[in-house]
Amino acid sequence: MSLNRLRFSGVRRRFGRLAVLDGAAGEVAGGEALLVTGRNGSGKSTLLRCLAGLVAPNAGTIELEEDGRRLGAAERRLRVGMVAPDLAFYEPLTVAENLAFFAKLRRVGPHRATELLARVGLPPDRLAGALSSGMRQRLRWVWALLHRPRLLLLDEPFQNLDAAGEAAVRSLLDDHLADGRGLAVVANPSSLEVPRVAARLDLGG
Amino acid sequence: MWRRASTWAAEAAAVFAKDWRCELRTRYALNTLALFAFTTMVVVSVSLGPLGTSADLGVSVLPVLLWLILLFAAAAGLPRAFVEEEETHTATALRLAATPSALYCGKLAYGVTLILALELLVAPVYAAMVTLSIHSPGLFVAALAAGGFGIAAGSTLVAAIISQAQGRSTLFSVLAFPVLLPPLLLVVELTRNAVAGHPAGVALSQLLLYDGAITIFGLMLFPLIWNP
């Protein structure tokens, strides 16, 4: 049995009168991916934000275990890796400066960023404000994996990527899941080919 | 314990350095603060005329005008500390990476140094323009430091509260009034004492008490505001 596991049940979230999530439930263990599907507005992004701890659910439980230890909401928020369309970086800073800043916050050394940048083919000295949409997406992947998270939350993870970019991030996702410790929740994949999918959650809509 | 404190301090220092690096590349806040302060100083100087004010009137009026210039110049730039993170969508990445109290301290240090830089620029020019003679320069510097810290700390806290709200500008004015009025009254009194050559009185200790209280209050409140 894996020591890394995400389990959530009865997750509800309302924005005013609008019920976006109505009792979502799922489970994923180390080395596996949970695929979340549904129409636009069905609550996929909201579910991922609840799992990350960015949005508090109105009801339900979310449990993340890392190496057999259950994390509280505040710790979970600082431990997850996330790729999401609304994730932005400091435009006056270069790619390397952005990553160096977050590496200090994440308490990781500079070599990890260098290694990941080489894998996705991103120029470190380019200003974040001068990146194309595809390059921004590559930067989101590097940022998400910087601290070697166990749980990776991926919202539209392949959007704006060209063939080479998609191959590079798929290889990162493969590696994340391959050692059996990393787990992923993937929403809105533009391509349905996600490796090691153990379960699917259809939010309908 | 010591290791934890040093990593927390390193996080706060990283936020402080990042904010200054971004600021020095864009010069948004520096330009806004400096232009606002310069414009109001010219208006004050021209309004007083070439003769300036009498000595008695100068002691009571000129410190008030100095702090009004500093307050409104600071109000033009300090609320950006958190608002900009929300508007440029960098707040999500920060929420997922930074310890809230370290983030708050980094932002506070940035706000304090920004306002101290503004004071360094404005105070000598203002004193020269309105021929303000200061009899206790040491107390004057203490007033600038303690008053600047109080305004920066109060503004940073209010900026954090309003950052996720709609109608931020209006909210800042409404919330900043009760938060910034006490230090403003105290620092005006302290500056008057410095100009007149009087002792600091209770104003300095009360201002330092306010500075400490607003900092501790901000550190306690910020994680509740910042996280859902």
The token pair at B79 is: 């609320």
Q: What confidence score (pLDDT) does residue B50 get? A: 62
Chain A closest-CA separation from residue B226 CA (Å): 10
Out of A10-14, A131-135, A187-191, B92-96, which region has the weakest mean confidence (pLDDT)? A187-191
| A49-58, A60-69, A190-199, B35-44: segment of lowest average pLDDT | A190-199
C-alpha pair distances (Å), B85 with each of B77, B157, B164: 14, 15, 10
Instruction: Give backbone dihedrals phi and psi of B63, rounded to 5 degrees, phi first.
Output: -65, -35
- A106 chain-B contacts, CB cut-off 8 A: 97
Domains and CATH numbers, chain A: 31-49+74-202 (3.40.50.300)
Average model confidence (pLDDT) across chain A: 92
Which of A15, A76, A78, A90 would best serve as a mutation to test chain B binding (most B beta carbons within 10 A)? A90
ipTM of the prediction: 0.92
Counted domains in chain B: 1
Task: Give the amino acid at B41.
Answer: M
Count Cβ–Cβ pairs < 8 Å, chain A vs chain B. 63
> Other C-beta atoms within 10 Å of A190: how many?
11
How much is the pLDDT for A191? 59
| Single pTM value for the model | 0.91
Mark yes or no for CB contact A107/B7 under 8 Å.
Answer: yes
Contact B96 A91 (CB under 8 A): no
Map residue A2 onto helix, strand or coil. Answer: coil
Q: Which domain holds residue B117?
A: 2-226
Contact criterion met (CB < 8 Å) for A80 and B96:
yes
Q: What is the pLDDT of residues A174-189, one digit of tens each?
A: 999 998 889 999 997 6
B188: its two tokens: 């005006």
pLDDT average, residue stretch A87-103:
96
pLDDT at A190 over 70: no
Coil, helix or strand at residue B99: coil
For residue B207, what is the enclosing H or E element?
helix B202-226
The chain A residues in contact with chain B (CB within 8 A) are 52-56, 74, 77-78, 80, 82, 84, 86-93, 97, 101-102, 104-107, 143
Residues of A in contact with B26 (CB under 8 A): 92
**Contact, B109 vs B12, CB < 8 A?**
yes
| Kind plus residue range of the DSSP H or E element containing A15 | strand A5-15
pLDDT at B65: 92
Q: Which residues of A touch B7 (CB under 8 A)?
A: 107
Flag if B18 and A89 touch (Cβ within 8 Å).
Answer: no
Check if B9 contacts A (Cβ < 8 Å): no
Partner-chain contact B21 A74, CB within 8 Å: no
Residue A113 in this model has a pLDDT that exceeds 70: yes
Taking CA atoms, what residue in A is nearest to B21?
A93
Q: Do A88 and B89 touch (CB under 8 A)?
A: yes
Q: Rounded to whole angstroms, how far apart are CA atoms B19 and A89?
A: 13
Beta carbons within 8 Å of B112's beta carbon, 6+ residues apart: B148, B149, B152, B153
Cα(B10)–Cα(B40) distance, rounded to whole angstroms?
38
Among B93, B92, B84, B132, which residue's Cα sits nearest to residue B111?
A: B84
Q: How many CA atoms lie within 13 A of B67 on its CB side?
A: 28
Asked if B22 lies within 8 A of A77 by C-beta distance, the reply is no
pLDDT the model gives residue A192: 61
Per-residue pLDDT of chain B (228 residues; tens, 9 = 90+): 677 778 899 999 999 999 999 999 998 888 888 888 889 988 888 888 765 667 777 788 889 999 999 998 888 877 678 888 988 999 999 999 999 999 999 999 999 999 999 999 999 999 988 888 899 999 999 999 999 999 999 999 999 988 888 777 788 888 888 999 999 999 999 999 999 999 988 999 999 999 999 999 999 999 998 887
How far is Cα A194 from Cα B7, in angstroms, rounded to an integer?
Answer: 37
Q: What is the 3-state secondary structure (H, E, C) of A44-73?
A: HHHHHHHHHCCCCCCEEEEEEEECCEEECH
**pLDDT tops 90 at residue A95:** yes
